[in-house]
């Protein structure tokens, strides 16, 4: 199992889709769903038990600690970012 942060955004969502198209390894997908995240990007995964979506902020230490303890992912891949210029400053 891997933990993806920002997995409902453009880059993260495409990574999740590609990962699950090529692997049976499950994904925990943590995304805050700000302006950059859109669950429609992942609509094709609805009902796929390999994809667990959690709405939340990577800045929420308690949430991240709970996910790490509960799922024990072998890797964390971070795509969470406020990349719009006005929001990244």
Q: Which residue has the tokens 């769903």?
A: 33
Mean pLDDT of 11-32: 96
Average the pLDDT over each of 36-40, 47-51, 59-63, 85-89 and give the range with the smallest value: 85-89
What's the pLDDT at 42? 92
Mean pLDDT of 6-23: 94
What's the pLDDT at 38? 85
For the stretch 59-82, pLDDT in tens is: 999 999 999 999 999 999 999 987
How far is 20 from 88, CA to CA, in rounded Å?
30
Q: Does 34 score more than 90 pLDDT?
A: no
Q: What architecture does CATH give domain 2-82?
A: 3-Layer(aba) Sandwich (3.40)
Annotated domain spans of the chain: 2-82
Q: What is the DSSP string of the chain?
A: -EEEESTTSHHHHHHHHHHHHH----EEEEE---TT--GGGGGGGTT-TTEEEEE--TT-HHHHHHHHHHH--SEEEE-----SHHHH-
CB 64 within 8 A of CB 40: no
Q: Does 87 score more than 60 pLDDT?
A: no
What's the pLDDT at 86? 60
Query: Which among 39, 73, 34 has a CA at the least distance from the CA of 53?
Result: 39
């Amino acid at each position: 199992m891997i933990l993806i942060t920002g997995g409902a955004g453009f880059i993260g969502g495409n990574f999740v889709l590609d990962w699950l198209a090529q692997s049976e390894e499950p994904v925990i997908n943590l995304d805050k769903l700000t302006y950059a995240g859109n669950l429609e990007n992942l609509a094709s995964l609805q009902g796929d038990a390999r994809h667990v979506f959690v709405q939340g902020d990577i800045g929420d230490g308690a949430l991240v600690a709970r996910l790490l303890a509960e799922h024990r992912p072998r890797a964390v891949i971070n795509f969470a970012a406020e990349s719009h210029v006005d929001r990244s400053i």
